[in-house]
Amino acid sequence: MKADLNGMGNMFASINDYEEYKRVSDILKENISLVGLLDAAKNTCQDNDAAWIYPFYVAGDDIFFAVSVTNLFKGIDVCRQMVITINNALIKKNEDNKTKIKNKSDIKKLSMGIGVSITFNREPIRYYLEAVNDQLDKAKNAVCPETLQEFLQTTIAINNQTFFDVDYDEINNKIEAINKDLNSNPIWRSFKNDIKDFQSLNSDKEMREQICSTSFLYSLLEKLSSIKICDKDVSENNDKISLEKELEYINILLYSLRLKHLDNSNIRNKELLFKSRIIKQLYVVLNKDEDKKKIKKKYKKANKKIYKDTIVLNDNSKHRLETYIQLLILLTDPRYNLNSIEHSSEDSEKSQIENAHKFLLKETINYLYEKLYNYDSNLLNIFINKDDPKNNNSSDIYFKRLNIEKSMFFKLRDTDKVSIEKAAELIKLKNQVCQNKDSNVTKENKKNTSSHMCFDEDKFKKAAKNSWNSTFIDSLMLLYQYNEMNIKLNGIFKEEEK
């Protein structure tokens, strides 16, 4: 195997500072050496103490060594490890010294050409050198497609065939980052598809009357635009007043987006798709471990990021949602006859339904639960708790909860007429009261394997003094309803799969 670095001449030609030149030279001298080769071999094959790599010379930017065919892939991995180490060192030195190349994106990553010649060990080394140089020339002269160049680590020529060795971790991170931005921002193609689909719904009288009448959109827009949220990003601010305003806004939206036709197979999926596209305007994609204060920061590449779709309500997302509804109303007006729009979605219908289910129900349920928990966890836990999956055999049950019907919620929300004491009496009519006053009621409810909890009357009366109001009750009712819709829809999809 013979290897040398690609792009060295161009890199040195671009350096016009002595300290920078020396810095790069020192990195290469340290890593393109017998010690550097040994370190790379140890990192590549940590469990092998026996000698397996036989260097002829390692100097400048040239590496020449032999391995048995058994260790062919390990030898390639050693070369890859050396170029990775060099690139990381160049970037780290640059960040530490803050020299003329100011950031990572300005550094041209080096790649490495590798020639491989397989032969019997019977001839002088000069013959091996000639054969492997021929392969190395092919590796270095191969033209990598432009779309892959930023991910290229090595080019490998063996038996006159050149392979491009790219960094799949970086590619996956790039794809994730692109998908993150596509799903977090208004995209013209997606908007055109939405308009086309909405036009199609509007052209069907039944769909127009049942799902997406213009009056429905006008009414929703009027209600949403009447609510003023905080100027700050309320997801960064758990101040109770701010959170209550956020819940008030979300309550209006979610109440309007409830699925009303789950039992009608002709309408169900179209309603799900239509309403999910409305709420999707509030979604952004965040790293699961990312601090919410970093929402507006640009994506920075890391070894691995796990992304999660999340509702974020702030002035920007509020504007995006309300403008989206305005444009739906305007651009689907039959007077304008916008019939030239072509639908260009590449997602299958099944994929679209799965995403709609996630955005409208699954993630919305998690979001609403978290907001209520932040608003008043003590009060929320009296009514509903995230269920332990070990306690039930069905993935459809997501929460343990008190048994409260929709009609009771409407009675309870009139807090001027229904006092906390009266509310407790109404709740007791439909629920078992927790008997063991000396025990931890939360633990008692967790041990209960049914989906229902017992009602702790005393705890409710104490906690309700702080947060029992119509906004909290509306949010709680919607959490119940969306959970029930999710359970029902899961059941329908399972039956359809059979």
Based on the fold, state whether residues 356 and 420 are members of the same structural domain. yes
Based on the fold, state whether residues 354 and 490 are members of the same structural domain. yes
Based on the fold, state whether residues 314 and 199 are members of the same structural domain. yes
pLDDT in tens, 145-166: 988 988 999 999 998 889 999 9
Based on the fold, state whether residues 223 and 284 are members of the same structural domain. yes
128, part of any domain:
yes
Based on the fold, state whether residues 45 and 104 are members of the same structural domain. yes
Alpha-carbon distance values, 261 to 210, 211, 264, 489 (Å): 8, 9, 5, 11
Based on the fold, state whether residues 65 and 6 are members of the same structural domain. yes
469, part of any domain:
no
pLDDT in tens, 314-358: 998 999 999 999 999 988 887 777 765 666 665 678 888 999 999
Final residue of a domain: which of 346, 365, 399? 346
Based on the fold, state whether residues 296 and 148 are members of the same structural domain. no
Based on the fold, state whether residues 358 and 313 are members of the same structural domain. no
473, part of any domain:
no
**Per-residue pLDDT at 282 exceeds 90:** yes
Q: Are strands 62-67 and 53-59 parallel, antiparallel or unpaired?
A: antiparallel
Based on the fold, state whether residues 250 and 214 are members of the same structural domain. yes
Q: If you average pLDDT over residues 131-141, what whole number do you get? A: 94
Of the pLDDT bands very low, low, confident and very high (cuts 50, 70, 90), residue 370 is very high
Based on the fold, state whether residues 411 and 327 are members of the same structural domain. no
Q: What pLDDT, on the 0 to 100 scale, is given for residue 103?
A: 44
Q: What pLDDT, on the 0 to 100 scale, is given for residue 295?
A: 40
**Per-residue pLDDT at 224 exceeds 80:** yes
476, part of any domain:
no
Compute the distance between CA of residue 438 and CA of residue 419 in angstroms, rounded to an integer: 26
Q: If you average pLDDT over residues 203-212, what whole number do you get? A: 88
pTM: 0.73
pLDDT in tens, 371-383: 999 999 999 999 9
Based on the fold, state whether residues 232 and 144 are members of the same structural domain. no
138, part of any domain:
yes
316, part of any domain:
yes
Compute the distance between CA of residue 498 and CA of residue 495 in angstroms, rounded to an integer: 5
The DSSP code for 417 is: T
Q: What is the number of structural domains in the chain?
A: 3
**Per-residue pLDDT at 300 exceeds 60:** no
Do 267 and 208 meet the contact criterion of CB atoms below 8 Å apart?
Answer: no
Based on the fold, state whether residues 222 and 139 are members of the same structural domain. no
| Structural domain for 230, as ranges | 167-346
Of the pLDDT bands very low, low, confident and very high (cuts 50, 70, 90), residue 231 is low
Compute the distance between CA of residue 76 and CA of residue 79 in angstroms, rounded to an integer: 5
Q: What pLDDT, on the 0 to 100 scale, is given for residue 342?
A: 64
Q: What pLDDT, on the 0 to 100 scale, is given for residue 474?
A: 97
pLDDT in tens, 163-202: 999 998 889 888 888 888 888 888 888 888 888 888 888 8
Q: If you average pLDDT over residues 430-449, what whole number do you get? A: 65
